[in-house]
Chain A
Amino acid sequence: MKILGISAFYHDAAAALTIDGLPVAAVQEERLSRSKNDPTFPMRAIEWCLDQAGLEPEALDAAIFYERPALKFDRVLMTLLRGFPQSWRIFPKAMKNMVGEKLWVRGIVSAQLGIPARRVHFTDHHLSHAAAAFLTAPTEEAAILTADGVGEWATLTVGQGSKRPGGPVDIRLLREVRFPHSLGLFYSAFTAWLGFPVNEGEYKVMGLAAYGAPRFADEVRRILRRTPDGAFSLDLGYFDYHRAVDAAYSRRFVDLFGPPRDRFEPIDPGTAQGRHYADVAASAQRVLEEVIVDIATAFRKETGLADLCLGGGVALNGVANARILREAGFERLFVPSAPGDAGCALGAALWADRILFGQPHRDCPDHPFWGPAVEPDDLARLAAEDGLAFERAAEADMIDNVADAIGRGAVVGWMEGAVEFGPRALGHRSILADPGDAAMRDRINRDIKFRESFRPFAPVVPVEQAATFFELPPGGARLGRFMSGVFPVRPEWRDRLRAVTHVDGTARVQVLEAAMAPRLHRLLGAYSRCHGIPVLLNTSFNIAGDPIVTSAAEGYSTFRRAGMDLLVADDVVVRRDRARQAQRMEVMA
């Protein structure tokens, strides 16, 4: 069967295509539209997925949307009713938002694709998350935990699944916590209070937390309380559901933690004010961890299952994930490369195949590379037109040259094959650099990422040597496959890995298996032969505010804008030629 999965209209839209039960293409709309976190109907992504498989839309057996719009409408309306009469200010906007677009998904999909409405299906938001996590994971039986801001009504679910190749699939969500009680919205309120953009700046809160001490954990526990049955609830007095349908913080929140941060001023954890923000971030992070670890631990006891699949936006919290792995009692923890709503496009398509249409299970390839491939010829043409030196080298030479250049301080744009599905660059669209050079880190922060100094860069290490440099608990290497866990850097290596070690001595490490990205794996080997450590700094290939690059032209443009030293697209290598470039600019001026 040919099934198209779609997620859209909230944050980070995406499309995914499965044929005969296996993914063949998946991409976030932002990667094609070049508008970060693009939530609009993912027409470009859909077109690309169909093109990739050489399909016309009529050939689709089904299109499936990642949530149920009518149920979502029910939740929004109910929230407005319960907020009466204070909700009058957001009522017009919320109504127009829902009625204008979100409610008519069946019609939109059917009209845009030109397929009959009866071929358009829906599933539950959290079932999409669960399917994205469980059906892509190499396990036959697992507990499932999903947690995010909110879907239709559910904000957190626990369930379990079973599958084996050729056999039937079962995914059962057993219990859920419902809106407005939400770990995602809880964390978002702190994100907003700290002056970061909601749905985007959550990882900054996690990064900032490492600078602080959880001095306010008791205060935070007043906001996020445990219920006697082991779940949790939010004290709604601290949130402002009347002003926003998602939970912004309220007056009482400000009374408790002080005035929100001025988003125009930088955070300096060295000042008293900066430390206060860091302490609040650390407290929110701590309490989030407590709750989710506790829920996971209880569920492990209840099910007795060895594996846990984790989905939803909260699964992007690598610190919490690592704690679940260490403390909850599961042997293995699987987080997909796209645990957020974009990943629901793939989850929904797989769910439709296995559950809605009852197809037998097939194991999905265990990698994140489902997007458009880079065209090295395009890069060669661009470089030639601009008079930049480029070469096409045999792979072994190319890898040695790049490793050598990195050792001499080069910042390298590394593009290979298909784009990653999900928010992390996992070796196909990465910026690579020396992991030991703090000046290098500052240069990348200043010239390329224009970002706060408190955000760490991630390292990438081959799975064979990971334990030499990082303290990985059992199952840690698996969690590091898609950069889903934060682990301590071994103290004796922290100095050599300065640029990728966070202030608390940890790193969000990517543990690389050769089969997943063989060239990057060989590059790590070559770097190790020259410089003694098989570790590189690996950050996403984009400039602040842009989505990760997709095409050779985007990589080339980013390489030029950011003043990087080397750009690699498969076998084509372009070097920055400062002298010639300066000359050219003068001629033009």
Chain B
Amino acid sequence: MTGWRVPIDRLVWADPRRRARKLLQFAEVEAQGARDLFRAAEMTDDPLLRRRLFAHARDEVRHAALFRARGLALRRMLADPGPEHGLGDGLIPGERGFDRLEVERESIAALLAFIHLSERAASQAFAAYGAVLDHDPETRAVIDRIARDEEGHMRYSRAELTRLAPDARRALWVARLRRFWRAYLRLALILADMISRLILTLLYFLLLPPFAWVAKRAARKEAAGWRDCPEHDRAEGRAGGGQY
């Protein structure tokens, strides 16, 4: 099912610098996931679910520590760890954890469906990474171990969903659509960002030069040190509650 991605994964995980960066990135995602789950546990009224979410959150805390420790160990072996972010460090859906889930605003069904799908994506992603890490058995051991936990998370969240939501299948479909929608939105936002960046950069070079020249001249005349407060410069009427 995921055979097509093996060459890509192999490429991504071959570079030790990127491997270290990715593991450290994962550590942050898992830590955020743990915070979301603790939050979910704080919000829920069902005592059993609360305990399960709590136990789950603790697993994610452990994952964060494992990823971090391995990432740091890899990083220390490098002569030069390079920049903190490199090309191709973007997270793909299976790596995003719960992806800025707003725990308070979700129903229990939506929350559990979301957890289930995220964990499933994570366990698949980690299983795939384990498969291309023959050359780094230690990282592989860490990832394999975490992938097994994620499977457990996938199962319990499905079971809780059945227990607590009258229509579990529908909740799952809604969550699937929402995940898809989010992925689409993210792409759209990246595109919009690129376009606006381009336009603003063009504007910058086309429109700003004369103003920049004036601003620089004015700056040269400005002495450093104390200035009178503008309060006194302002006409009475303007000193009030305006924007300026």
B89 to chain A, nearest CB (A): 15
User: Which A residues between 524 and 547 are near B, CB-CB below 8 angstroms?
Assistant: 545-546
B4 lies within 8 A of chain A by Cβ: no
A82 touching B219 by the CB < 8 A rule? yes
User: Which B residues between 198 and 216 are near A, CB-CB below 8 angstroms?
Assistant: 200-201, 204-205, 208-209, 211-212, 214-216
B51 touching A91 by the CB < 8 A rule? no
B212 touching A92 by the CB < 8 A rule? no
Q: Which of A174, A262, A352 contacts B81 (CB 8 A)?
A: A262
B35 touching A546 by the CB < 8 A rule? yes
B24 to chain A, nearest CB (A): 7
A352 touching B241 by the CB < 8 A rule? yes
Q: Which of B57, B227, B231 contacts A177 (CB 8 A)?
A: B227
B227 touching A553 by the CB < 8 A rule? no
Cα separation A123 to B50 with both chains bound (whole Å): 45
9-residue interface stretch from B41-49, B107-115, B121-129, B179-187: B41-49
Cα separation A82 to B228 with both chains bound (whole Å): 22
A584 lies within 8 A of chain B by Cβ: yes
B241 touching A356 by the CB < 8 A rule? yes
9-residue interface stretch from A225-233, A273-281, A399-407, A470-478: A225-233
How many residue pairs at the A-B interface have CB separations less than 8 Å?
132
Given A70-B243, A264-B24, does the pair A95, B231 have CB atoms closer than 8 Å? no
B202 to chain A, nearest CB (A): 10
User: Which A residues between 104 and 154 are near B, CB-CB below 8 angstroms?
Assistant: 105-106, 121-124, 127, 153-154
Given A71-B244, A262-B81, does the pair A124, B231 have CB atoms closer than 8 Å? yes
A78 touching B215 by the CB < 8 A rule? yes
B212 touching A81 by the CB < 8 A rule? yes
Instruction: Fill in one digit per residue for B230-244: 1 if any A CB lies within 8 Å of its CB, else 0.
Output: 110000000011111
A404 to chain B, nearest CB (A): 29
Chain B, Cβ-Cβ closest to A584: B51
A176 touching B225 by the CB < 8 A rule? no
Counting chain B CB atoms within 10 Å of each CB, the highest count among A34, A71, A159, A232 belongs to: A34
B81 touching A553 by the CB < 8 A rule? no
B244 to chain A, nearest CB (A): 5
A173 touching B229 by the CB < 8 A rule? yes
A557 touching B38 by the CB < 8 A rule? yes
B231 to chain A, nearest CB (A): 6
Given A356-B240, A557-B42, does the pair A227, B224 have CB atoms closer than 8 Å? yes
Chain A, Cβ-Cβ closest to B76: A265
A159 touching B224 by the CB < 8 A rule? no
B55 lies within 8 A of chain A by Cβ: yes
Q: Which residues of B contact A546 (CB under 8 A)?
A: 35
Counting contact residues on chain A (CB < 8 A from B), the size range is 35 or more
A88 lies within 8 A of chain B by Cβ: yes
Given A68-B242, A175-B228, A560-B54, does the pair A554, B42 have CB atoms closer than 8 Å? yes
Instruction: Fill in one digit per residue for A543-578: 1 if any B CB lies within 8 Å of its CB, else 0.
Output: 001100001011011001100000000000000000
B72 lies within 8 A of chain A by Cβ: yes
A34 touching B39 by the CB < 8 A rule? yes
Counting chain A CB atoms within 10 Å of each CB, the highest count among B41, B47, B204, B216 belongs to: B204
A122 touching B241 by the CB < 8 A rule? yes
A69 lies within 8 A of chain B by Cβ: yes
A229 touching B75 by the CB < 8 A rule? no
B241 touching A121 by the CB < 8 A rule? yes
B52 lies within 8 A of chain A by Cβ: yes
A580 lies within 8 A of chain B by Cβ: no
Given A64-B241, A82-B215, A545-B31, does the pair A174, B228 have CB atoms closer than 8 Å? yes
Q: Which residues of A contact B55 (CB under 8 A)?
A: 585, 588-589
Cα separation A71 to B212 with both chains bound (whole Å): 18
A221 lies within 8 A of chain B by Cβ: no
Q: Which residues of B contact A385 (CB under 8 A)?
A: 47, 50
Q: Which residues of A contact B5 (CB under 8 A)?
A: none
Q: Which residues of B contact A588 (CB under 8 A)?
A: 51-52, 55
Cα separation A68 to B244 with both chains bound (whole Å): 6
Q: Which residues of B contact A589 (CB under 8 A)?
A: 55
Q: Which of B39, B42, B61, B225 contacts A227 (CB 8 A)?
A: B225
User: Which B residues between 22 and 45 are near A, CB-CB below 8 angstroms?
Assistant: 24, 31, 35, 38-39, 41-43
User: Which A residues between 26 and 68 are near B, CB-CB below 8 angstroms?
Assistant: 34, 62, 64, 68
Q: Which of A175, A356, A553 contacts B43 (CB 8 A)?
A: A553
Cα separation A573 to B182 with both chains bound (whole Å): 44
Q: Which residues of A contact B58 (CB under 8 A)?
A: 561
Q: Which residues of A contact B31 (CB under 8 A)?
A: 545
Given A553-B43, A584-B51, does the pair A91, B241 have CB atoms closer than 8 Å? no
A181 lies within 8 A of chain B by Cβ: yes
Given A121-B241, A176-B227, A233-B225, does the pair A88, B201 have CB atoms closer than 8 Å? yes
A88 touching B196 by the CB < 8 A rule? no
Cα separation A34 to B241 with both chains bound (whole Å): 32
Cα separation A95 to B207 with both chains bound (whole Å): 14
Cα separation A233 to B35 with both chains bound (whole Å): 42
B231 touching A92 by the CB < 8 A rule? no
A561 touching B38 by the CB < 8 A rule? yes
Q: Which residues of A contact B41 (CB under 8 A)?
A: 557
B205 touching A88 by the CB < 8 A rule? yes
Cα separation A589 to B81 with both chains bound (whole Å): 39
Cα separation A277 to B216 with both chains bound (whole Å): 36
Q: Which residues of A contact B50 (CB under 8 A)?
A: 385-386
Cα separation A305 to B38 with both chains bound (whole Å): 51
A151 to chain B, nearest CB (A): 12
B47 touching A231 by the CB < 8 A rule? no
A176 to chain B, nearest CB (A): 5
Given A84-B208, A92-B196, A554-B42, does the pair A386, B72 have CB atoms closer than 8 Å? no
Q: Which residues of B contact A181 (CB under 8 A)?
A: 224
Chain A, Cβ-Cβ closest to B52: A588
B54 touching A85 by the CB < 8 A rule? no
User: Which A residues between 90 and 110 are near B, CB-CB below 8 angstroms?
Assistant: 91-92, 95-96, 105-106
Cα separation A82 to B42 with both chains bound (whole Å): 50
A172 lies within 8 A of chain B by Cβ: yes
A175 touching B227 by the CB < 8 A rule? yes
Q: Which of A84, A178, A551 contacts B212 (CB 8 A)?
A: A84
B244 touching A95 by the CB < 8 A rule? no
Given A176-B229, A177-B225, does the pair A106, B243 have CB atoms closer than 8 Å? yes
B216 touching A81 by the CB < 8 A rule? yes
Instruction: Fill in one digit per residue for B63-93: 1 if any A CB lies within 8 Å of its CB, else 0.
Output: 0000000001001000001000000000000
Cα separation A514 to B55 with both chains bound (whole Å): 41
Chain B, Cβ-Cβ closest to A35: B35
Given A84-B208, A84-B216, does the pair A176, B241 have CB atoms closer than 8 Å? no
User: Which A residues between 313 and 327 are near B, CB-CB below 8 angstroms?
Assistant: none
> B residues touching A (Cβ–Cβ < 8 Å)?
24, 31, 35, 38-39, 41-43, 47, 50-52, 54-55, 57-58, 61, 72, 75, 81, 196-197, 200-201, 204-205, 208-209, 211-212, 214-216, 219, 223-231, 240-244
The 6 closest A-B pairs by CB, nearest first: A121-B241, A233-B224, A84-B212, A81-B215, A227-B225, A92-B200
* 20 interchain pairs, CB-CB under 8 A: A34-B35, A34-B39, A64-B241, A81-B212, A88-B201, A92-B196, A95-B200, A105-B243, A173-B231, A175-B227, A175-B229, A178-B227, A227-B224, A228-B225, A231-B224, A262-B81, A264-B72, A264-B75, A545-B31, A554-B42
Q: A81-B214, A181-B224, A557-B54 are in contact. List 12 more A-B contacts (CB 8 A).
A: A34-B39, A82-B212, A82-B215, A92-B204, A157-B229, A176-B226, A176-B228, A227-B223, A264-B72, A264-B81, A352-B241, A557-B38
